[in-house]
Chain A
Amino acid sequence: MTTAPIEGGVRRNRVAAFFGRHPVGMILAAPYAVYIAVVFAYPLGFSLWISFQDYFFAAPGAIVDHPFVGFDNYTAVLSDPAVRQAFGNILVFLVINVPLTTALALLLAVALNRVVHARTFLRVAFYVPYVTASVAVVGVWLFLFNSDGLVNTVLGPLAPDPSWLVNEGLAMPVIAVFVTWKQLGFFILLYLAALQNVPKELYESASVDGAGAWSKFWSVTVPAVRPATALVVILSLITGANLFTEPYLLTGGGGPSGASTSPVLLMYQRGIQQGEPDFAAALGVLLVIGVLIVAFVNWRFIERRD
C-alpha cells in the first residue's frame, strides 16, 4: 500500500473515493465495457423483449407494431412437439457425451501426465481435433459413416441398417461420439493443468498405506481434481446445449425425421428460415434457463461434497 501524495491530498482523496485509486482504469476498460453493453447486454434484453412480443421481420423502413403477447410464445414453444423432440435429443446427447468426456479426459490426462517418451506426438494427436474446424472434420465423418463408408465396410454384416446417420436410434449417439472426439483435447488440457496442483505427498502417503495404482486414482486423484471436473461437466453441458453444426451438416439438418434436431438448429429453422424470431427467442431463453439450472445443480452438488 502506498500513501497518497501530500500535495492536493484532500481533493485527490475525494476523487479517489469516487473513481478509485486509478481512475485511468475506467478508460482502459471502457472499450471492453462498451463492447459488452452493445454486443451482449443490449441483445440479451432485446431477446427477452422479443420473446414477449408478436415479433416478425418487416420490410426495411416499415414501421410496424409488435404487440405484447405475454407468455404466448413460451406456451407455443412448450407445446410444440418438435421442441420436445429436440430437448429429448439433447438429453440423449448429454447422457452419452458428458460421462464419456469426463471419464476419458481424466483417464487420458492421468496417463499423459506421467509419459516421458513421445510426449509431443501424443499431445498433438489428442489436441488436433479440437483445433480443427467442425466443418472440415464433419466432411471426413460423413465419408466414414456413409452407408457404404469405411466403418460399414469393416463391420460387414454387422453394419447397422439403416446406416448410422440415417438411423433414428443411432444418429444422435454418433453425433455425441463425434463431439466427444472433437472436444476431448481441450478437456484433457484442463485436467492436465489440475493434475499439476495435486500435492505429491498425497500419493506418497497413499503408497505408504499400501494403495495400488487404481485405488490411488480413486482416493487421491479423483477428489483432488474435483474443481476441474465441475468445470469439465459445465463446459461440456454448454457445448451440448449449443449443438448446431453437427446436426446441420452430419445428419442433413437434424434428420432422420427430426431424430437429431437440436434446440439451436430449431432456433435457426424457426427463427430465421421461417421468420418466427419471437418463437426462437422464447426457445433460446428456455434453453439458457435449462443450462443454468443444470449447471447450478452440478455446482452445488460438487460444492457440497467438498
Chain B
Amino acid sequence: MARWPTVVRYAVLFAGALLFLFPFYYMLIGSLQSEPDTSVGGAFPTSGLTLGNYADINSRVDLLGSLVNSGIFTGGVLLCTVVFGVLAGYALARLQFRGRGTLFVIVLLVQVIPFQLLLVPLYVLIVRGYGLADSYLGMILPFAINTTAVFVFRQFFLQLPDDLFAAARLDGAGELRILRSVALPLVRPALLTAVLLTFIGPWNEFLWPFLITKDADMQPLAVSLANYISNVASRAANPFGAILAGACVLAAPAVALFIAFQRHFTSTDLGSGVKG
C-alpha cells in the first residue's frame, strides 16, 4: 500500500487522541487556576497555578471521608463479584446440574434489562422496606454480583481444556479444590481484566448511591461532588476551580489504575467474553 494512507491514519488518530485527552488536561489546568481563565491562552498558563481549589473543595466536601465511602462501596462490590461470581461462572461453565440452562438464560436476560426499571421498586424495598438508606449494605446490594462479570468468568472457564478437569476429578479432587488449584491459576490474567472492568462500575456510579444517601457522611465522592455541583457551587469564590479540583480527585484513582493495568485491558482478554 502507498505510504501516505499510513501518514493520514496516524494524523487522524493523533488528532482524535488529543481531542479525547484535552478535557482531562483542561480539568487539571482549571483545578490549578485561582481565577477561571476561559481565554485560549488560559488553557496554557505559565504562572499563577495554585492548590487553593483543592483546599476549597475539601472545606466544603469531606474529600477523604467521601473517598473512603467510595472505596468501601467499590470494595464490597468487587469482593462479592469475585467470590460469588467466580463460583457461579465456574458452575455454569464446568458443572452439569439441574437448572443450569435456566440460570444461563437469566444471566443473559439480566444484562438486557436496564437497571432503571428496578429503580423505583429497589428504592421502595431497600430504603422504605429494609431501612437501609444511608448504609453501605444498601449501597452495595443492587450491584453486589456483577452479572456481566459472571458471564465473562463463565467464558474464561469454558475455554480451558476438558481433559484438565477430567484428570483432576479422576484424582478425586473436589470441585472447590479443582476451581482453586486448577482453574483459577489458569484464568488469573483474564480475571484481573474482569476485576478492573467491575471496579469502574461502582466507583463511577452516581444514580443509586445518590438516591439512598442523604447523610453527607455516607456519600461516595461521585455523589458529594454532584451535590456540590448542583447546590452550593454558586456560593464558592471560584466554583469551577473547586468543581474541577473535586473532579480530579474523583477521576484520579480510576485513571491511575487503568493506566497501571492498561496492558490487561485488551481486546483479546475481553474478546473471549464478547464472542460468546
- Could you list which residues of chain A lie within 8 angstroms of chain B, going by C-beta atoms? 2, 18-26, 28-29, 31-33, 35-36, 39-40, 42-44, 46-47, 50, 57, 60, 108, 111-112, 114-115, 117-118, 120-144, 146, 148-150, 152-154, 181, 184, 189-190, 192-197, 213, 228, 231, 234, 238, 241-242, 244-245, 248-249, 252-253, 264, 267-268, 271-272, 277, 280-281, 284-285, 287-288, 291-292, 295
| Partner among B38, B40, B98, B123 whose Cβ is within 8 Å of the Cβ of A19 | B98
Q: Are B274 and A268 in contact (CB under 8 A)?
A: no
B12: chain A residues at CB < 8 Å are 111
- Could you list which residues of chain B lie within 8 angstroms of chain A, going by C-beta atoms? 1, 5, 9-10, 12-14, 16-18, 20-21, 23-24, 26-27, 30, 36, 38-40, 42-43, 84-85, 87-88, 90-92, 94-100, 103, 106, 110, 112-125, 128, 131, 141-142, 144-145, 147, 150, 166, 169-170, 174-176, 200, 203-204, 206-207, 211, 222, 225-226, 229-230, 240, 243-244, 246-248, 250-251, 254-255, 258-259, 262-263, 265, 267-268, 270-271, 274-275
Q: Are A144 and B119 in contact (CB under 8 A)?
A: no
A26: chain B residues at CB < 8 Å are 91, 97-99
| Partner among B5, B38, B222 whose Cβ is within 8 Å of the Cβ of A149 | B38
Bound complex: CA of A196 vs CA of B272, how far in Å?
11
A22: chain B residues at CB < 8 Å are 91, 95-97, 175
Q: Are B84 and A35 in contact (CB under 8 A)?
A: yes
Offer 18 A-B interface pairs, CB within 8 angstroms, sorted by A: A26-B97, A29-B91, A43-B122, A112-B13, A117-B10, A118-B10, A121-B17, A125-B21, A130-B200, A133-B203, A133-B204, A137-B251, A138-B229, A150-B42, A213-B5, A271-B119, A284-B116, A284-B119
Q: Are A39 and B141 in contact (CB under 8 A)?
A: yes
| Partner among A47, A150, A249, A264 whose Cβ is within 8 Å of the Cβ of B43 | A150
- Given A121-B17, A131-B200, CB of A139 within 8 Å of CB of B244: yes
A190: chain B residues at CB < 8 Å are 270, 274
Nearest Cβ on chain A to B176's Cβ, whole angstroms = 8
Main secondary structure of the interface of A (DSSP, over half): helix
A18: chain B residues at CB < 8 Å are 98
A121: chain B residues at CB < 8 Å are 17
Bound complex: CA of A248 vs CA of B94, how far in Å?
44
Nearest Cβ on chain B to A18's Cβ, whole angstroms = 6
Q: Are A150 and B26 in contact (CB under 8 A)?
A: yes
Bound complex: CA of A87 vs CA of B131, how far in Å?
33
Q: Are A36 and B110 in contact (CB under 8 A)?
A: yes
Bound complex: CA of A32 vs CA of B262, how far in Å?
29
Nearest Cβ on chain B to A150's Cβ, whole angstroms = 5
Q: Considering the complex of A and B, which 4 residue pairs feature the smallest CB-CB distances, nearest first?
A: A193-B271, A25-B95, A25-B97, A125-B17
Q: Are A129 and B267 in contact (CB under 8 A)?
A: no
Looking across the interface, which residue of chain A has its beta carbon closest to that of B262? A124
